[in-house]
Structure 1
Amino acid sequence: MTSQATKQIRLTPEGFERLQKTLLQEQNRLAEATRILQEQMETSADNEDTGLEDAKREKMNIEARIDELEDTLSRATIIAEHENEGRVELGALVTLIIDATKKEMRVQVVSAPEAAVLGGSLPRISEDSPVGKELMGRKKGDAFVVNLDNGKQMKYKVKTIEY
Structure 2
Amino acid sequence: MTQPLPLTPEGLTRLQAALEREQARRDEARRVVQEQMEANENESLDLAAAQEALSGAEARVGELEDQLARAVLLAPSGGTRGQAALGSRVRLLHVDLGRELPLQLVSAAEAAAGPGEHGAALVSSESPVGRALLGRRAGDEFAVDLGRVQARYRVLTVED
Same fold (TM over 0.5): yes
SS in 2 for 1:133: helix
1:160 matches 2:157: yes
What is the alpha-carbon distance in structure 2 between the residues aligned to residue 134 and residue 19 of structure 1? 25
> Does the 8 A contact of 2:74 with 2:86 survive in 1?
yes
1:115 matches 2:111: yes
Count of residues in Structure 1 that have an aligned counterpart in Structure 2: 157
Alignment of 1:78-117 (within 5 A): 78-83=73-78, 84-117=80-113
Over 3 Å counting, the alpha-carbon distance change for 1:127 and 1:35 in structure 2 is same
Gap regions ≥5 residues in structure 1: none
Equivalent position amino acid for 1:134 in 2: A
**Structure 1: which 4+ aligned runs deviate by more than 2 Å?**
47-50, 119-122
Q: Once the 2 structures are TM-superposed, how far is the Cα of residue 49 of structure 1 from its aligned partner? A: 4.5
SS in 1 for 2:6: strand
What is the alpha-carbon distance in structure 2 between the residues aligned to residue 50 and residue 72 of structure 1? 35
Gap regions ≥5 residues in structure 2: none
What is the alpha-carbon distance in structure 1 between the residues aligned to residue 141 and residue 26 of structure 2? 47
What is the alpha-carbon distance in structure 1 between the residues aligned to residue 20 and residue 97 of structure 2? 41
Identity of aligned residues (%): 43
TM-score (norm 2): 0.93
What is the alpha-carbon distance in structure 1 between the residues aligned to residue 147 and residue 5 of structure 2? 26
> Does the 8 A contact of 2:36 with 2:43 survive in 1?
no
Residue 138 of structure 1 aligns with which residue? 136
What is the alpha-carbon distance in structure 1 between the residues aligned to residue 97 and residue 76 of structure 2? 34
